[in-house]
A and B are shown apart, each in its own frame.
Chain A
Amino acid sequence: MELNVKLLFPEFFVLTAAVVGILIDLLLPKRMKNGFFATFSVFVLFICVFLVLFSSPFVPEEAFNGFVKKDLLTGLSQVLILFSSLIAVFVSYGFLKKFDTDYVGEFYYTLLFAVFGAMLMVSANELATLFVSLEVMSISVYILSALFRKDYRGKEAALKYFIMGSVGAAVIVYGFALLYGLSGSTLYGEVGRAISTLSFPVLLSLALVISGFLFKLGAVPFHGWTPDVYHGAPTPVTLFMGAVVKIAAFVALLKLFYPVFLPLVSEWGEVFAVIGVVSAFAGALMALRQENVKRMLAYSAISHTGVVLTALVSVPAVAVFSVLFYLFAYAFMTVAAFGFVSLLTENGFKGENLSDWRNLYGKSPFLALSLVVIFMSLAGIPPLFGFWAKFYILVALVKVGKVGIAVAILVASVISLYFYLRPVVYAFMRKGEAVLPPVEPFELGAVAVTVLFLIIFGLFPELISQASIFALSSFLRGII
């Protein structure tokens, strides 16, 4: 038995911090909780970033009998997860000030549990670990969503997410069960060795696993929960769901599919591409006339997911690279967008609707300009970060001659441009009064930083490209 516990040090650090949080929560008076826990979580996450940076090996390393495998892909995605969570914490701090709840402590440490789940999910190298960490993350998110007082929407969202999540979990477990039956093992490497052709049991397990992941990612037709949950959940939680859960799911997908289903890559690649195109279109179409920004962003998330999925049809190296890059951009954009919404939200969910953003420029030019950056980046207009993500996907697709798919996702992006422009229209061109609650400096700072990143990485994407390439090569070393 080879534990190699130190490899999982960052995860355990977060876990410990969360457990410590439970204890502290019992001791602290309520009014101090928000400030303390926010600071605490920021510190934990911040330190954890460094832990991840220092502990991620270039040459993949395994721990716990090979149940986890760490490489730079893991490391990079963990950094991304931690970064998004950091912003989530910043945003939560402001949000919790505006929206009262009795469970401040619970909120923060559940968030840390969710981060732990996500981090473990991207390191998992075994089916049970993947499943369990997935559930840790999911259940934490259900709880986070339902935690706010007098917040019916959050609870409805939690219920929907819960039911769908359970179905998803069941389906994915069913797929895992089949995989186990086929190979007699649950380790990725060993399962992969047993799978070479697309016999029907393999196909069924593949289909079920794909379905499970597609559900987590919110691709059509597994997307039903996405708008409702994104809409209903408290905005920082939506932010977390939009960024962290999606990154974790995507990276877990990469880490599962390439080692396990490598011989079948062309088959499932095609499936992802088809689903991706459908999602890209459906998401874009459904968002068109959406008045609620959170809901609109949810539909846009569906569309973005679709775009990323299409990249999987490309050759593995390129696909992983472009997916990774896209995840970077997507995480930044999602964080910025939901952070922005949270910034503008006031009691009674004012500020979530487009009509509440009328003439935002008149109230706050800076926020209005940030809005332009965020939404134009989401739309993929150069020279913002989102463009490069789309561009690399495009390169990946064209590289394997899938020009039709490339055109399709770009057409979808044209459709989505309309609803990305609508916030800009409201903020700049419509007359009226914007709702602008007192702005929390931390929250604002966090959003401003992400917006700045969107511009900087838009102008100099090389940094992210290089990081992605490192992660890619490290990952490839592990599966060959």
Chain B
Amino acid sequence: MGVGFLIAVLPLISFLLAGFGVLFGWKSFKRRSHYFGLVTVGISLILSFYVLFKVMKGAVFSEKWFNWIISGGLSACFGASIDSLTAIMLVVVTFVSFFVHMYSIGYMHDDPGYDRFFAYLGLFTFSMLVLVLSPNFLQLFFGWEAVGLSSYLLIGFWFKRKRAADAAIKAFIMNRVGDFLFILGVVAVFWVFGSLDFHKVFSQAGAVSAATLSLISFLLLGGAIGKSAQFPLHTWLPDAMEGPTPISALIHAATMVAAGVFMVARCAPIFDGSYVLPIVGVIGVITAFGAATIGLTQFDIKRVLAYSTLSQLGYMFAALGVGAYVYAMFHLFTHAFFKALLFLGSGNVIHAMSGEQDIRKMGGLYKYMKITATCFIIGTLALVGIPPFAGFFSKDKIISAAFANGHLIFWFFLVMGALLTALYMGRLVFMVFFGEERFDAREMKHLHESPAVMTVPLIFLAVPSIFAGFLGGWFEKFLKSSVPNHVRELSHSTELLLITITVSLALLGLLIAAVIYYWRKISPEVFTENPVLRPIYLLLYNKYYFDEIYSLLFVRGTGFGLGKIYAFFDKYVIDGIVNGVAYFTSWCGEVLRLTQTGVVNNYVAYFGIGVVTVILLLLLV
């Protein structure tokens, strides 16, 4: 036990208190449930900073809380092992979580499930903290699944809506697809290394053949893909937007979805020794670019942000793929702030628009909600990568690392992705905050800037979104102690050139967006109605038809389709055989019974036959 334990367990207390309130319908708990969250997560936040400073000074926390599974050679415990990587994650998680808690007070104010929401938030925070603190694979898996559960609960928070309930199931099951590989990875780790402790495993990683390591890291990667919604398991994340917006900010943007990146960074020694890294990169690039293209066409404010999240996670994966673990983490770090900011900002917009999420029905909101708009724009600039905002530093590092390590194709798509990012974010900002007001009068009445409890978190998140980028150097140094970073040095001139290309492309993107959506020089219909481009547009608009294909292949095919066939087989063949044997037996009985004619002569005939039979039998034996 120790400070790590405290950090992790405090939110759990919040969950339990609020949860019992929900369970027993305690009215007094209901309106106060946010206090539990704020206080406990607040303390955790402070402790996290404390830990961070301690770690910066070179302290190492290694806690063992209690034994978990002991069986044969397997011995796994719950505990905490805090190095620089963990410390950073702790701060990110508690920081975002705290502000999301605060924000939710306002956002969820009128919801009947107010206390339930805070209970879930507590559960999530706890799970995420356990995840990042884990000293071994098994606890990692515990946290991994627990965040999945919280995510499921929160996506399905408005469970009466079918879409929400379905999205929750989709998220959970797609995560499970990844987890299926992940748990096999854990199993493989155990049988290869004989232990699940990170320390022991990583220290032996060098002694294991690359093939074995590749297998393990491939399996682990599966988990990461699922959790971080990478191609091809990415489709759950946009649907997850059915959950309340603070959740999208916390779970589906800042923390949980980044767990995959965290895990791969954590397991860098294994990945480094394997042949899997290029696959990671490819997946990352595909996701980064593909999601960005989809983001161009969406009209739901949260979905655009969700695809942008996908895309940014793709960048992180690309960074991991080229070996730039630290840059991936750095992007994770900055992304957490500005993406949370963006989501919370969109939450304010939605709140103001009485739940409307379609950007075609917005416009010109800047007038009405200046703080939100400003913060949102800051977030956007950070995301697009305009210097000196945080995103610029982190994203640029990734792009140049791809170039430096010789992955030119990666580099090209990532750069193009940056252009697209600017394009869709610009489109979003211009459509939402500027231009004509497309909402109707009823919504007009509601329009207002959000209360302080919802704007303050924005401001607090905006600060790191602006400045976190400058921590790059420190971050790199700090993290080097726990995470390797394989990036070749580039000459200054090349680096400068690359930066110029990236930034100018980003600016170009914004410019195009402005031309189309602000100045309205070109109508978007030019692209969508153009017979050549229309198929492409439809392809993008329908998200490359992934949902449809998966639904056909897996849900309706393998799942329910095969299930129905099997159920039929089970009922009529397997059980049919069982019942058939019974019926056959019964039928035999009926037939035999007919020999019992009631006429005594026949019985005598049987008797006679019997005598003959006995004689024959005696002759035979």
Given a CB threshold of 8 Å, the question of whether A touches B is answered with yes
**Chain A contacts to B: CB under 8 angstroms:** 159-160, 163-164, 167-168, 171, 198, 203-204, 206-208, 210-211, 214-215, 220-225, 227-228, 266-268, 270-271, 274-275, 282, 284-290, 415, 418
Interface string of B22-41 (1 = CB under 8 A from A): 00000000000000000000
B611 touches A289 (CB 8 A): no
| Residue in B585, B596, B604, B617 whose CB lies within 8 Å of A164 | B604
Considering the chains assembled together, what is the distance between the CA atoms of A286 and B606 in angstroms? 16
Q: Indicate the member of B585, B598, B611, B615 with the most A CB atoms within 10 Å.
A: B611
Q: Contact at A415–B596, with CB atoms within 8 Å? A: no
A221 touches B592 (CB 8 A): no
Whether the pair A160, B600 counts as a contact (CB closer than 8 A) is yes
Chain A residues with CB under 8 Å of B615's CB are: 203-204, 207
Asked if B617 and A274 make an inter-chain contact with CB atoms under 8 angstroms apart, the answer reads yes
- Is A270 touching B611 in the complex (CB atoms < 8 A)? no
- Considering the chains assembled together, what is the distance between the CA atoms of A215 and B614 in angstroms? 12
User: B621 interface residue, CB < 8 Å from A?
Assistant: yes
How far does the Cβ of A173 sit from chain B's closest Cβ, in whole Å?
A: 13
Among residues of B, the one whose C-beta sits closest to the C-beta of A227 is: B596
Name the distance in Å between A266's Cβ and chain B's nearest Cβ: 7
Apart from A164-B607, A211-B607, A285-B593, list 13 A-B contacts with CB within 8 A. A164-B600, A171-B611, A206-B618, A207-B614, A211-B610, A211-B614, A220-B610, A221-B607, A228-B603, A275-B614, A285-B592, A286-B589, A289-B589
Best-buried of A168, A206, A221, A285 by chain B (most CB within 10 Å): A221
Taking each of B582, B588, B610, B613, which has the highest tally of chain A beta carbons within 10 Å of its own beta carbon?
Answer: B610
Q: For residue A284, which residues in chain B have a CB less than 8 angstroms away from its CB? A: 589
Contact of B621 with A270 in the complex, beta carbons under 8 Å: yes
Cβ-defined contact, A221 with B589, below 8 A: no
Q: Are A221 and B606 in contact (CB under 8 A)?
A: yes
The smallest beta-carbon distance between A473 and chain B, in angstroms, is 29
Q: Would A225 and B588 count as touching, CB distance under 8 A?
A: no
- Residue pairs across A and B with Cβ atoms less than 8 A apart, 9 shown, are A204-B615, A211-B607, A211-B610, A228-B598, A270-B621, A275-B613, A285-B585, A289-B586, A289-B590
| Shortest Cβ gap from A207 to chain B (Å) | 4
Given A221-B613, A289-B590, A415-B585, do A164 and B603 touch, yes or no (CB 8 Å)? yes
Please measure, in the bound complex, the distance between the C-alpha atom of A221 and the C-alpha atom of B613, giving whole angstroms: 9
Interface centre among B606, B609, B614, B621 (most CB of A within 10 A): B614
Q: How many whole Å from B450's CB to the nearest CB in chain A?
A: 66
Residues of B within 8 A of A223 (CB): 606
Please tell me if B602 contacts chain A, counting CB pairs below 8 Å: yes
Residues in B whose Cβ lies below 8 Å from that of A222 = 606-607, 610
Other-chain contact of A207, B600, B604, B611 (Cβ < 8 Å): B611
Whether A288 contacts B607 in the complex (CB less than 8 A), given A159-B600, A204-B615, A207-B615, comes out as no
Residue contact A221 to B609, C-beta cutoff 8 Å: yes
Chain A residues whose CB sits within 8 angstroms of the CB of B600 once the complex forms: 159-160, 163-164, 224-225
Contact check, B604 vs A167: say whether CB atoms are below 8 A apart: yes
* Nearest CB of B to A76, in Å: 29
Q: Which residues of B contact A224 (CB under 8 A)?
A: 596, 600, 602-604, 606-607
Main secondary structure of the interface of B (DSSP, over half): helix
Decide yes or no whether B619 CB sits under 8 A from chain A: yes
* A286, B614: Cβ atoms closer than 8 Å: no
**Assembly CA distance A288 to B607 (angstroms):** 23
Q: In the bound complex, do residue A271 and residue B618 qualify as a contact, i.e. CB atoms below 8 Å apart?
A: yes
Give B143-178 as 1s and 0s: 1 = Cβ < 8 Å from A's Cβ atoms: 000000000000000000000000000000000000
Interfacial chain B residues near A203, Cβ < 8 Å: 615, 618-619
Residues A211 and B617 in contact, CB atoms below 8 Å apart: no
In this complex, the member of A224, A270, A284 whose beta carbon has the largest number of chain B beta carbons within 10 angstroms is A224
Q: Are B592 and A214 in contact (CB under 8 A)?
A: no
Q: With a CB–CB cut-off of 8 A, which chain B residues contact A214?
A: 610, 614
**Taking the nearest CB of chain A, how far is it from the CB of B333, in angstroms?**
68
Contacting residues, chain B, for A268 (C-beta < 8 A): 618
B596 touches A286 (CB 8 A): yes
CB distance from A57 to the nearest CB of B (A): 35
Task: Tell me, in angstroms, the Cα distance from A297 to B247 when the chains sit together.
Answer: 71
Whether the pair A208, B592 counts as a contact (CB closer than 8 A) is: no
Residues of B within 8 A of A163 (CB): 600, 604
Give the contacting residue for B607; candidates A207, A215, A275, A285; CB below 8 A. A215
Closest A-B pairs by Cβ, 9 of them: A224-B603, A288-B589, A285-B589, A221-B610, A221-B606, A270-B621, A207-B615, A207-B614, A211-B611
CB distance from B593 to the nearest CB of A (A): 5
- Which of B582, B590, B607, B617 is the most central at the interface, judged by chain A CB atoms within 10 Å of its CB? B607
Q: Which of A206, A223, A285 has the most CB of B within 10 A?
A: A285
CB-CB nearest in chain A for B585: A415
Give the nearest-CB partner of A203 in chain B.
B618
CA distance A207 to B614 in the complex (A): 6
Residue from A160, A171, A289, A290 in contact with B603 in the complex, judged by beta carbons closer than 8 Å: A160
Min CB gap B579→A, angstroms: 13
Chain A: which residue is nearest B602 at the CB level? A224
A-side contacts of B585, CB under 8 Å:
285, 288, 415
Q: A227-B596, A288-B585 are in contact. Are A198 and B607 (CB under 8 A)?
A: no
Which residues of chain B are within 8 angstroms of A171 by Cβ–Cβ distance? Answer: 607, 611
CB distance from A268 to the nearest CB of B (A): 7
- Bound-state Cα–Cα, A418 to B596, Å: 20
Could you tell me the distance between the alpha carbons of A165 and B386 in the complex, rounded to whole angstroms? 112
As a 0/1 sequence over residues 335 to 374 of chain B, the CB contacts with chain A under 8 angstroms (1 = contact) are: 0000000000000000000000000000000000000000
Task: Provide the bound-state CA to CA distance between A164 and B603, in Å.
Answer: 8
B613 neighbours in A (Cβ, 8 Å): 221, 275
Report A-chain residues with C-beta under 8 Å of the C-beta of B589: 284-289
Q: Name which residue of chain A comes closest to B621, CB basis.
A: A270
Q: How far is the CA of A270 from the CA of B616 in the complex (A)?
A: 12
Contacts of B607 in A (CB 8 A): 164, 167-168, 171, 211, 215, 221-222, 224
Assess the B588–A285 pair: CB atoms within 8 A.
yes
Interface string of B574-589 (1 = CB under 8 A from A): 0000000010011011
* Nearest A residue (CB) for B615: A207
Complex CA distance for A267 and B613, rounded to whole angstroms: 14
Which residues of the other chain, B, contact A208 by a CB distance below 8 angstroms?
A: 611
Contact B618 A267 (CB under 8 A): yes
A164 to B604, CA, bound (A): 7
B-side contacts of A210, CB under 8 Å: 614, 618
Q: In the complex, what residues of A have CB within 8 A of residue B609's CB? A: 221
- In the complex, the answer to whether B602 meets A271 with C-beta atoms within 8 Å is no
Q: Which residues B535-590 have CB closer than 8 A to chain A? A: 582, 585-586, 588-590
| Residues of B with C-beta under 8 A to A211 | 607, 610-611, 614
Complex Cα distance, B598 from A163, in Å, reads: 13
Contacts A164-B600, A164-B603, A285-B588; A198 near B610 (Cβ below 8 A): no
- Does B603 contact A225, Cβ atoms closer than 8 Å? yes
Report Cα–Cα, A246/B592, bound state, in Å: 23
For A163, the closest partner residue in chain B by CB is B600
A215, B590: Cα distance in complex, Å: 23
- Give the most central of B604, B618, B619: most A CB within 10 Å: B618
B588: A residues at CB distance < 8 A? 285
Q: In the assembled complex, how far is the CB of residue B6 from the closest CB belonging to chain A, in whole angstroms?
A: 59
Chain B residues with CB below 8 A from A207, complex form: 611, 614-615, 618
Contact B604 A270 (CB under 8 A): no
In angstroms, Cα B616 to Cα A210, docked, is 13
- In the bound complex, CA of A12 to CA of B603 (Å): 36
Chain B positions 501-536 with a Cβ under 8 Å from a chain A Cβ? none
Chain A residues within an 8 Å CB radius of B592: 282, 285-286
Bound Cα distance from A220 to B585, whole angstroms: 18
| Inter-chain contact A267/B621, CB cutoff 8 Å | yes
A220 CA to B592 CA, complexed, in Å: 11
State the Cβ distance, B585 to closest chain A Cβ, in Å.
Answer: 6
Q: Which residues of A contact B598 (CB under 8 A)?
A: 228
CB distance from B587 to the nearest CB of A (A): 9
Asked if B596 and A228 make an inter-chain contact with CB atoms under 8 angstroms apart, the answer reads: yes
Residues of B contacting A221 with CB < 8 Å?
A: 606-607, 609-610, 613
Give B596's nearest chain A residue, CB to CB: A227
CA A275 – CA B609 in complex, angstroms?
13
